[in-house]
Amino acid sequence: MLPIFLTVAARKLEAAGTPLSGAQRDRLQSLYALHHQIVWRVLRRSGLDEAHADDAAQQVFLVAMKRLSDLRPETERGFLCGPAVMVARKLRQTRAKESLPGVLPDGESRDRPDVLAEQRLNVAILDSVLKQLTDELREVFVLQEIEGLSKREAAMALGVPEGTVASRLRRARESFDELLTAATKGASS
Amino acid sequence: MSNAPNETKQTLLDAARAERQSETAAKRGLDALLAGAVEPIDVEGPPAVPEKNRLAWVLGALLLALLAFAWWSKLTRVETPAPVPPVVAPIVVTPPPAPVVVVELDAGAVELDAGVPEVDAGQATAPAPAPTKKPVVTDDDALARELALLDEARLQVAKAPRAALATLERHRAQFPRGALKLEADLLRVEAQLNLGRKAEASRLAEALKKADTEGLVHDRLERLFEQHP
């Protein structure tokens, strides 16, 4: 781990637009390969369509680039989900959400169109239920219930104590189940 | 309580977990990042050190600072010498001689017995923490010393009446209002008679008779004068 003054200096250089070194490029590529899907999905579940989620994911890794020097492997996932949640909030505030359907995944669309259609339908149903939750409950539900982050990682991403995460998750599960039950009954009647 | 169909819920969650960003979009995003072509928006990431760990670091640093300060204070503290207890010279009190006094009266010997008073000796060692007790002169103590003097005078009165008178003077000086003053005056009368100072002895005897309203010394004085016609 770098001393604090070197860490601060590295941040300043990175923030000033200094080109990444070879090691930094490798580190960023590794980070991206490992975590870009979860970041993208968190953005999607936060209410962004696929195109906006693509753009937002770039913002998330841009934040990570500035903090490469003090990112540790065991906290990478929790760290990246933090700016993902914040970017989603910011984009929801500043852009009108587009209701256009997302772009289908390239490799899968050719092979199993029926499965993907069903998957798209299920994701749409899920998003419609998540949309009815408050931001606080939806964020913790997505991070822990869907993406499987630990309580500690979720607390780090959301910037709240672990106890708060636990209580929010309990309320989120209750609310989600009630909303899903109501949606299922409405669809069957 | 929840009654949502678990199967439906699980299907929806699995669908969400299976969703993938397209490879094309993902590669395009990474290329843009590496090329520095992404225009940043104002978003900061969470602290790299979790809040809980950061609090532990801060508390640890404060504890270390406190310990360092305590250590520094201990090093720089000026030691003030402890107050030295005053040196107390040992006080030795000699117990009086045997307190048995035999006073000869006209009817025979009357034995006066007095207990030997206990006198506290001062602490002999200097740094004793307890305060040194001063010898307290009690009534019993004074009576014992009076008896000692009169016993000495009685032993002298027959063979050394001058010495007896000197002893009686010491008694008068030390115990002008002693409890045994009457007995001392009787011995003085006897000593004076033994020295042949009859007139002087008679004046003292008359004074004693006047003062002795209860008639305690009358018989004894008369017998003394009879022995020295």
Looking at the complex, does the CB of residue B3 fall below 8 Å from at least one CB of chain A? yes
Quick one: A81 and A140 in the same domain? no
Environment class of B229 (CB within 10 Å of its CB; exposed 0-12, middle 13-18, buried 19+): exposed
Specify the pLDDT at position B80. Answer: 57
Report the Cα–Cα distance between both ends of chain A, in Å, rounded.
60
Cα separation, A67 vs A33, whole angstroms: 17
* Chain B residues lying within 8 Å of A108, measured CB to CB: 20
* Chain B residues lying within 8 Å of A87, measured CB to CB: 41, 43
Q: Which residues of B20-29 are buried (b: 16+ CB within 10 A; e: fewer)?
A: bbbeebbeeb
Selection from A42, A47, A45 nearest residue A99 by Cα:
A47
Looking at the complex, does the CB of residue B8 fall below 8 Å from at least one CB of chain A? yes
Of B3, B9, B33, the CB nearest to A58: B33
Asked whether the beta carbons of residue B30 and residue A125 sit closer than 8 angstroms, the reply is no
Indicate the range of A58-62, A122-126, B74-78 predicted with least confidence: B74-78
- Summarize pLDDT for B59-84 with one digit per residue, the tens: 889 999 999 988 888 777 765 555 55
Long-range contacts of A157-160 (CB under 8 A, 24+ apart): A157/A78, A157/A79, A157/A80, A157/A81, A157/A82, A157/A84, A157/A85, A157/B46, A158/A82, A158/A85, A159/A82, A159/B46, A159/B51
Specify the pLDDT at position B105. Answer: 47
Range of the domain at B146: 100-111+138-227
Residues pairing with B103 in the sheet: B110
Q: List the single residue in A with minimal CA-CA distance to B39.
A: A59
Quick one: A76 and A136 in the same domain? no
Quick one: A82 and A136 in the same domain? no
Mean pLDDT of chain A: 81
Asked whether the beta carbons of residue A78 and residue B17 sit closer than 8 angstroms, the reply is no
Alpha-carbon distance A100 to nearest alpha carbon in chain B (angstroms): 16
Report ipTM (2 d.p.): 0.77
Quick one: A116 and A92 in the same domain? no
Specify if A157 maps to a domain.
yes
The residue among A31, A62, A94 with the most chain B CBs within 10 A of its CB, best to mutate, is A62
Looking at the complex, does the CB of residue A141 fall below 8 Å from at least one CB of chain B? no
Specify if B67 maps to a domain.
no
Residue where a domain stops, chosen among A64, A98, A132: A98
Specify the pLDDT at position B56. Answer: 80
What does the DSSP 8-state code read for residue B47? P
Under the banding of pLDDT at 50, 70 and 90, the label for residue A140 is very high
Specify if B86 maps to a domain.
no
Range of the domain at A50: 1-98
Looking at the complex, does the CB of residue B12 fall below 8 Å from at least one CB of chain A? yes
* Chain A residues lying within 8 Å of B46, measured CB to CB: 78-79, 82-83, 156-157, 159
The residue among A14, A72, A126, A141 with the most chain B CBs within 10 A of its CB, best to mutate, is A126
Look at chain B and report how many structural domains it folds into: 1
Residue where a domain stops, chosen among A35, A66, A98: A98
Instruction: Point out the residues of chain B with pLDDT beneath 70.
Output: 1-4, 44-54, 78-139
